[in-house]
Amino acid sequence: MARTDPTVEMLGNVDLFEGLPKKALSQIVEAGKELSFREGVDVCKEGQTDARFYLILDGAASVTVAGRELNKLGPGDYFGEISIIDGQPRSATVTALGPLRTLSMTSWNFRPILKENSDIAFRVMRNLARRVREAQSSPTC
């Protein structure tokens, strides 16, 4: 199935992929797969290992930690962007609040893109480094 420009544009708004040219974003989108979830389905569960990234195309989802809702996500929002890099257990549960359509990509589909395209790999590393610096400079409770 051919991917639409809105999906490429949505992916370009993910901070991990910020600044990548459309060609690179299209390559990433093509490596992904559309997945749909029914209301009430846990897309991912806190503590489980699932090296998969999700970009919400349509619908809404709830983010909970230890059963407490922290956030609601909608079209253009994403989760699991770090999981496709490090494969560590999920820090939250994300549950579909209604019909949910996502673009999803596994780490094993993403890693070859990084290996084949050093520009993508460099930009992803730069954006991760920026996020680490921002996290380190943010006051904590």
- What's the structural domain count of the chain? 1
In a domain, 56, yes or no: yes
Kindly state the tokens that stand for 105.
Answer: 């990509």
Q: What are the strands, taking DSSP E only, across the chain?
A: 33-37, 42-44, 52-58, 61-65, 68-73, 78-79, 93-96, 100-106
28: CATH: 2.60.120.10
Task: Tell me the pLDDT tens digit for each residue of 90-132.
Answer: 889 999 999 999 999 998 998 888 888 888 888 878 877 887 7
Q: Model confidence over 62-82: pLDDT tens digits?
A: 999 999 999 999 999 988 887
Range of the domain at 80: 5-127
